[in-house]
Amino acid sequence: MKKLCFLALALALVQTLPALAGAPQQPKAPGIESKDYVWNEPVGEKAEILKLKGDAERGRIAYRVCQGCHKPDGAGLRDGTYPQLAGQHATVLIKQMADVRDGRRENPKMFPFAGKHIIDMQEIADVAVYLQNMKIPHDNGKGPGTSLARGKELYKSDCHDCHGENGEGNEKKFYPVLAGQHYKYMLRQIMNIRDGKRGNANPKMVKVVQNFNDADMEAVVDYMSRLSMPERSAVRK
């Protein structure tokens, strides 16, 4: 059995590596560092994908190229290497994919699987609907739980208006669902936004977090990692 598993893995690698070796490098588009940057401007490929009607069944098939990292249930990894995608707003998923494809959000690890040479615009719309319809897992990676009172205070004062009481985000405004997301993933992203390392960051959020010290970052993200949306959560096993 072990030999069969090894052979299957080897075959998959042989089939995948040539395609990735010849894949184009991720482009670079001006981001928040540019004085002309407009967050979420309704133009380009993103605008075209948002006009398409996604099909969840087609999305299930197209998602196969993604599930090696993000897992079949969309849960990603608890250590935050890969984000939890299940239950995320389709608008948010489409925006982030388009930003990676354009190079506004730098992600060389994801680009070989998300570039235009691998997945087309209709498939992105399909995958986004498929993931949005998934139930949100309960067992996401959580923080240490040592400063939750401080984290709740910061969330209520600085994050609640955009991301909601239970981390539900806002589909129409492209604000992501936070409920069920991994602590280490969110902490890395919020620090990148604060430090100017995420090119497609929302300037409104940059203003909010730019004065947070590391302890505040850890506290608020710890609190966020414990948010849940019972009506959209997976059934506990």
| Statement to judge: residues 123 and 90 lie in one domain | yes
| Statement to judge: residues 213 and 174 lie in one domain | yes
| Statement to judge: residues 118 and 153 lie in one domain | no
Q: Side chain identity at 112, as an amino acid letter? A: P
Is 3 contained in some domain?
Answer: no
Instruction: Take residue 112 and report the two structure tokens written for it.
Output: 């070989």
Is 2 contained in some domain?
Answer: no
Is 93 contained in some domain?
Answer: yes
Is 163 contained in some domain?
Answer: yes
Of 99, 132, 165, which marks where a domain is finished?
A: 132
| Statement to judge: residues 119 and 166 lie in one domain | no
Per-residue pLDDT, 12: 44
Distance between CA atoms of 178 and 144, rounded to whole angstroms?
Answer: 17
| Statement to judge: residues 45 and 76 lie in one domain | yes
| Statement to judge: residues 162 and 104 lie in one domain | no
Q: Look at the chain and report how many structural domains it folds into.
A: 2
Is 6 contained in some domain?
Answer: no
Q: Within the chain, how many helices (H) and strands (E) appear?
A: 12, 0
Q: What 3-state DSSP class applies to 127?
A: helix
Is 186 contained in some domain?
Answer: yes
Residue 52 DSSP label: S
Domain coverage including residue 120: 29-132
Distance between CA atoms of 117 and 202, rounded to whole angstroms?
Answer: 28
Q: What 3-state DSSP class applies to 233?
A: strand
| Statement to judge: residues 161 and 100 lie in one domain | no
| Statement to judge: residues 162 and 195 lie in one domain | yes
| Statement to judge: residues 192 and 122 lie in one domain | no
Is 237 contained in some domain?
Answer: no
Of 132, 165, 194, which marks where a domain is finished?
A: 132
CA-only gyration radius of the chain, Å: 18
CA 138 to chain centre: 17
Annotated binding site: 66, 69-70, 110, 159, 162-163, 205
Alpha-helix runs per DSSP H in the chain:
2-21, 44-50, 56-62, 67-70, 90-102, 111-114, 121-132, 148-154, 160-163, 183-194, 203-209, 214-224
The CATH number for 171's domain is 1.10.760.10
> pTM of the entire structure?
0.89
Instruction: Take residue 79 and report the two structure tokens written for it.
Output: 């250590």
Question: Nearest CA to 84 among 229, 194, 200, 231?
Answer: 229
Is 220 contained in some domain?
Answer: yes
Query: Which residues pair with residue 170 across a beta bridge?
Result: 175
Q: What 3-state DSSP class applies to 222?
A: helix
Angular region, 119: left φ>0, alpha ψ -120 to 50, beta rest: beta
User: Tens-of-pLDDT digits for all 237 residues of the chain?
Assistant: 433 343 333 334 334 444 445 657 899 999 999 999 999 999 999 999 999 999 999 999 999 999 999 999 999 999 999 999 999 999 999 999 999 999 999 999 999 999 988 999 999 999 999 999 999 988 999 999 999 999 999 999 999 999 999 999 999 999 999 999 999 999 999 999 999 999 999 999 999 999 999 999 999 999 999 999 877 777 665
Of 75, 103, 132, which marks where a domain is finished?
A: 132
Annotated binding site for heme c: 66, 69-70, 110, 159, 162-163, 205
| Statement to judge: residues 163 and 123 lie in one domain | no
| 107 in Cβ contact with 26 (< 8 Å) | yes
| Statement to judge: residues 161 and 117 lie in one domain | no
| Statement to judge: residues 82 and 116 lie in one domain | yes
Angular region, 160: left φ>0, alpha ψ -120 to 50, beta rest: alpha
